[in-house]
């Protein structure tokens, strides 16, 4: 048994080295962007608001206000500096929903500016 190990010692060491190098390279993903909890939420709200603006039915408007209130509850628990901007964004979205509910043309500028600031 010992003679087999000595006979293939170089091949075994080379194979182990390649396995370790492969494992190290496989786990390297490069410099990753830090996780931003607002990014996904803002993207979801933006998609919802586009749907509501394109089809402002009673059900869609009510669902949008409900979703915005849930996001407000989540925002209440946050402590970072983006919290204030996010809450302003939610208010701007709510203003658009209210304007659509009353059949008025919504002002999308504030909502869009705040969204761009968050993402």
Residue 52 lies in a domain: yes
Pair 51, 60: CB distance under 8 Å: yes
Q: How does residue 73 score in pLDDT terms, banded at 50, 70 and 90?
A: very high
Residue 59 lies in a domain: yes
Q: How does residue 54 score in pLDDT terms, banded at 50, 70 and 90?
A: very high
DSSP code for 40:
H
Rg over alpha carbons for the chain, rounded to the nearest Å, is 27
Q: What does the pLDDT average to over 75-83?
A: 92
pTM to 2 decimal places: 0.73
Q: What does the pLDDT average to over 45-59?
A: 96
pLDDT beyond 90 at 51:
yes
Structure tokens at 111: 């909502």
Domain count, the chain: 1
Residue 106 lies in a domain: yes
Residue 101 lies in a domain: yes
Q: How does residue 24 score in pLDDT terms, banded at 50, 70 and 90?
A: low
* Domain with 101 in it: 37-118
Work out the mean pLDDT of the chain and round it to a whole number: 87
Residue 65 lies in a domain: yes
Q: Identify which of 62, 64, 68, 53 has the alpha carbon closest to the alpha carbon of residue 105.
A: 53
What whole-number distance in Å separates Cα of residue 65 and Cα of residue 62? Answer: 5
Residue 62 lies in a domain: yes
CA distances, 109 to each of 23, 59, 82, 116 (Å): 49, 24, 19, 11
Residue 96 lies in a domain: yes
Q: What does the pLDDT average to over 12-24?
A: 66
Residue 94 lies in a domain: yes
Query: How confident is the model at residue 23, as a pLDDT?
Result: 56
């Amino acid at each position: 048994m010992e003679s087999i190990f000595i006979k293939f010692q170089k091949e075994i060491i080379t194979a182990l080295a390649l396995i370790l190098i492969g494992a190290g390279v496989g786990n390297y993903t490069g410099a990753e962007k830090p996780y931003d909890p607002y990014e996904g939420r803002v993207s979801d709200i933006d998609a919802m608001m586009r749907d509501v603006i394109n089809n402002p039915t009673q059900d869609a408007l009510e669902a949008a206000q409900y979703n915005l209130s849930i996001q407000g509850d989540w925002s209440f628990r946050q402590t970072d500096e983006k919290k204030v901007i996010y809450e302003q964004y939610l208010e701007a979205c709510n203003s658009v929903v209210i304007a659509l509910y009353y059949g008025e043309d919504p002002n999308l500028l504030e909502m869009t500016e705040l969204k761009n600031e968050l993402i």
